[in-house]
Amino acid sequence: MLFKTKFFNPAAGYHEPGKWVWCGCCVEEKGIGFHLYSSRWRKDYPMLEGYVLFSEIVHAFSDSMLGPYHFVERVLPTELDPSRWDGMMAHNPTVVMYKDEYLLYYIASTYGEQPTPVSVIKQQRDQVGRVYSRIRIGMMRSKSPAGPWMAMERPILDVHPGYWDHELVTNPAPCVTPDGKIYLYYRSNAPEGTRLGLAVAASPEGPYVRVSNEPIMPNLHVEDPFTWHDGKMFRMLAKDQSGKHTGEYHAGVLLHSINGIDWIIDGKGYSRTMQTIDGKEITLGSLERPQLLFGDKGLPKCLFAATADGPGGFKNADNTWNTAIELESI
C-alpha cells in the first residue's frame, strides 16, 4: 500500500443537513485554510435521480484540514439557464493547479422541461435518462483557490459518435504532467460495463485529443479515478467496481503507469471498513470518488471521499457526506 488511513471521524469533512452531498476535492491555501469543492442537491428526490436533475457544485471552507467544512457559495450552475450546456446541473468537481492558475473540471447537463415529480416514476426515469445522456465534461479556471471561477462556453470533452464512448463522458480525472500536458481520464459506458478513456491536451483550453478509439485498461473494472504524476510516473487511486482487484467490493485500488496508458495494480489503497478513534470498527455503505490532498513533500496527507451510511451502496443510504481522513504516508 502507498499509504494507510488514520482513525475515521464521522463528524469530519462536509455535511449539510437536508442535502445529499457527494464528490469533494480539497485545495489548501497556505496560511489561510482549506477550500473544498463538492456536489450537493435536494433530498426530497432519490439520491441517483436527484443528482442528475439537481446537482450543483459548491464551495465550502474550513481552517482545519479535517473540517468541519461550511458552505460558502454555489459555483455552478452560475444561474439556472437551460440554454447553456451546463445550465441546469453540475457535478464531479476536481481541481488541479496548472502553472499559476487553478483548473476546476466538472460534468454538467441541461434541460428545459419542469422536473417530473417523484410520484410519477416512469416519466421521471425517462426524463432522468434524457438529462443523463447530455452529460459532458467542462472546465473553469481561476487565479485563486477561492475563486472567482471563469467558465468556458463549451465542453472541453464531448461524446465520440460511432465509438464506445458515444453515449456520455463523465467522471473527469485530470493529471498535469511535468512537461505541462494535461492527461484527462474519464469514464463512459462500454457494452461490458463502465470503462475509462483518456484524452490529452497541451494546454487547459485544449483540444483534448483521445489517445485511442477504445478504452484504456480494458480488463480493469474501475471507476472514479483520481490521478497524479509524482515526477517519475503516473499514479491512480480508483474504486474497485467488482472487488476482484482488491478482494473487497468498492474498495480503493492503487495503480501506477510509466506512460499513462498501460497500468499496473499495486494493491488496495483503502478499505470501506475503518476504525474510529474510540476503537470501534465501522463499514461504510459507500466510500468512493477518492481525492487526495498532498503535503509539502509531495506525499498524500488526506483522503477526501464521497461517503454514505446504510448497508451498502448509495441507493440504500439515508445520509451522504464528503469525509476527510488523515493519512500516514509510508
Q: For the segment 173-189, what is each residue's pLDDT rounded down to a tens digit? A: 999 999 999 999 999 98
Calpha distance 191→194 (Å, rounded): 8
pTM: 0.96
Calpha distance 102→27 (Å, rounded): 9
pLDDT in tens, 244-255: 999 999 999 999
pLDDT at 3 (0 to 100): 65
The three-state secondary structure class of 225 is strand
Q: Exposure of 76 by Cβ count < 10 A (0-12 exposed, 13-18 middle, 19+ buried)? A: buried
Residues in the chain: 330
**Selection from 239, 139, 240, 147 nearest residue 182 by Cα:** 139
The whole-number average pLDDT for the span 30-37 is 97
pLDDT reading at 210 higher than 90: yes
pLDDT at 278 (0 to 100): 87
pLDDT reading at 224 higher than 70: yes
pLDDT at 227 (0 to 100): 98
Question: What is the bridge-based pairing of β-strands 264-270 and 70-76?
Answer: unpaired
**Selection from 203, 105, 201, 197 nearest residue 160 by Cα:** 197
Query: Hey, what domains does the chain have and what are their CATH numbers?
Result: 3-329 (2.115.10.20)
pLDDT at 33 (0 to 100): 98
pLDDT reading at 330 higher than 60: no
Contacts of 137 (CB under 8 A, 6+ apart): 105, 106, 107, 155, 156, 157, 169, 170, 172, 184, 186
* 39: amino acid identity, one letter: S
Contacts of 209 (CB under 8 A, 6+ apart): 199, 200, 201
C-alpha grid cell for residue 161? 459518435
Calpha distance 152→289 (Å, rounded): 24
SS3 labels along 146-191: CCCCEECCCCCECCCCCCCCCCCCEEEEEEECCCCCEEEEEEEEEC
Residue 1: pLDDT band by 50, 70, 90 thresholds? very low
The whole-number average pLDDT for the span 13-37 is 97
Arithmetic mean of pLDDT over the chain = 95
CB-based contact 287:313 (threshold 8 Å): no
pLDDT at 277 (0 to 100): 87
The whole-number average pLDDT for the span 277-283 is 90
CB-based contact 222:268 (threshold 8 Å): no
C-alpha grid cell for residue 138? 467542462
C-alpha grid cell for residue 329? 504516508
CB-based contact 258:229 (threshold 8 Å): no
The whole-number average pLDDT for the span 198-203 is 98
pLDDT at 2 (0 to 100): 56
**Selection from 133, 93, 92, 139 nearest residue 110 by Cα:** 133
CB count within 10 Å of CB 307 equals 30
The phi, psi pair for 209, rounded to 5°, reads -105, 125
pLDDT at 147 (0 to 100): 96
Residue 329: pLDDT band by 50, 70, 90 thresholds? low
